[in-house]
């Protein structure tokens, strides 16, 4: 939703800056297909070869998806019944260069370092610090094993999590679809430890957030925010000296990569991650960089960095 809001805001700025339309006073019916294609022409790179062009292309795709949503809304609610949404889709698609998104640059070893750190953290003497330690451990294990989006994690209530089955219900996720995600025994035990330290009662705690923000022992707070989760992950990475760009979403990519490496079926990976299209899932199905390196070195011998012992 945040990404879509940003895309729509950028389109409205384009109307004002480049088309001479003030969105604050102009009716929605002034929007034409030409306005949208001119916006697309400004966003889409002529070719996609460099990392910068890949990043620009991803941004363009997100922004144009937001504008298509806006057009669909205006048309569906008769706010702009003459807006030819299908024609817009075809025209924008014709402007897009051929582009297969590269697999996300996920370094599993960095994710595993973060997980190892929260697993092995010593018990804190002060109750509020121990509660935070248990919360961070449960939260990151849940991200790593369930593959949920950070917004989905923050929306979870205790009643959504079934410890007997090792599943959680994700309701009205991206695209308005619901799905069931899975987690392992270690994650379940971490959740129980966190909830016990938080002071949850055995009964009547279902409406409480699965992960609270500023909670105190015996006083569960409101649901944790995506920004807070992002801050926690960033702080852990700084503490561990991790230089790669690890975010809460990286754990979702990490789960997808690990499932593919373990030969889990593509359709199963798609279901677990809640991808609307198998095209998105196939980004991960291509051989990972690690697999390619292993097979290359099987053919030509293990690589050792020059100057190191044995090199």
Q: What is the pLDDT of residues 234-278, one digit of tens each?
A: 999 999 999 888 999 999 988 988 888 888 888 888 888 887 777
Position 177 scores a pLDDT of 75
Percent share of the chain, pLDDT over 90: 55
- How much is the mean pLDDT over the chain? 87
* Structural tokens at position 101: 């998104």
pLDDT-based confidence at residue 24 (cuts at 50, 70, 90): very high
Q: How many Cβ atoms from other residues are within 10 Å of residue 37's Cβ?
A: 16
Q: Residue 178 pLDDT more than 90?
A: no
pTM assigned to the model: 0.69
Query: Whole-angstrom Cα distance, residue 165 to residue 155?
Result: 20
- Model confidence at 174, pLDDT cuts 50, 70, 90, reads low
Q: What is the pLDDT of residue 308?
A: 62
pLDDT score of 133: 96
Query: What's the angle, vertex CA 28, arms to CA 67 and CA 12, rounded to 5?
Result: 45
Does 108-285 carry CATH code 3.40.50.300?
no
User: For 212-225, what is the mean pLDDT?
Assistant: 85
181 compared with 263, residue with greater pLDDT: 181
Rounded distance between C-alpha atoms, residue 60 and residue 65, angstroms: 8
Higher pLDDT, 239 or 202: 239
Going from N- to C-terminal start, the domains of the chain cover 2-95, 108-285
pLDDT of residue 311: 47
Question: H or E element: which one contains 170?
Answer: strand 167-170
pLDDT value at residue 104: 64
The pLDDT of residue 291 is above 80: no
pLDDT average, residue stretch 33-42: 95
Q: What is the 3-state secondary structure (H, E, C) of 198-233?
A: HCCCCCCCCCCECCECCCECCECCCECCHHHHHHHH
* Residue 98 scores a pLDDT above 80: no
Question: Which of residues 285 and 5 earns the better pLDDT score?
Answer: 5
39 CA to centre of own chain: 26
Contact 8, 66 (CB under 8 A): yes
Phi, psi of 168 (to 5 degrees): -140, 140
Sign of dihedral through CA atoms 286, 290, 294, 299? positive
């Amino acid at each position: 939703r945040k990404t879509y809001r940003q895309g729509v805001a950028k389109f409205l700025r384009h109307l004002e800056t480049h088309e001479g339309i003030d969105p604050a006073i102009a009716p929605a019916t002034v929007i034409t297909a030409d306005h949208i294609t001119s916006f697309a022409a400004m966003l889409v790179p002529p070719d996609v070869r460099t990392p910068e062009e890949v990043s620009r292309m991803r941004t363009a795709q997100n922004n144009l998806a937001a504008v298509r949503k806006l057009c669909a809304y205006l048309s569906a609610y008769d706010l702009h019944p003459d807006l030819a949404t299908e024609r817009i889709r075809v025209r924008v698609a014709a402007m897009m260069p051929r582009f297969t998104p590269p697999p996300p640059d996920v370094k599993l070893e960095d994710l595993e370092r973060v997980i190892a750190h929260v697993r092995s953290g010593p018990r804190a003497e002060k109750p509020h610090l121990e509660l935070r330690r248990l919360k961070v451990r449960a939260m990151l294990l849940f991200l790593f094993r369930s593959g949920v989006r950070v917004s989905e994690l923050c929306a979870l209530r205790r009643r959504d999590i079934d410890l007997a089955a090792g599943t959680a219900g994700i309701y009205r996720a991206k695209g308005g679809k619901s799905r069931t995600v899975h987690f392992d025994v270690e994650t379940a035990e971490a959740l129980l430890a966190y909830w016990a330290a938080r002071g949850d009662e055995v009964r009547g705690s279902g409406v409480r957030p699965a992960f609270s923000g500023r909670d105190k022992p015996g006083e569960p707070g409101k649901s944790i925010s995506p920004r807070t989760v992002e801050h926690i992950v960033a702080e852990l990475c700084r503490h561990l000296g991790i230089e790669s760009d690890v975010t809460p979403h990286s754990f979702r990519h990490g789960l997808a990569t690990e499932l593919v490496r373990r030969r889990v079926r593509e359709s199963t990976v798609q279901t677990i991650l809640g991808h609307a299209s198998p095209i998105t899932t196939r980004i991960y199905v291509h051989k990972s960089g690690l697999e390619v390196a292993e097979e290359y070195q099987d053919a030509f011998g293990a690589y050792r960095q020059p100057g190191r012992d044995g090199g």
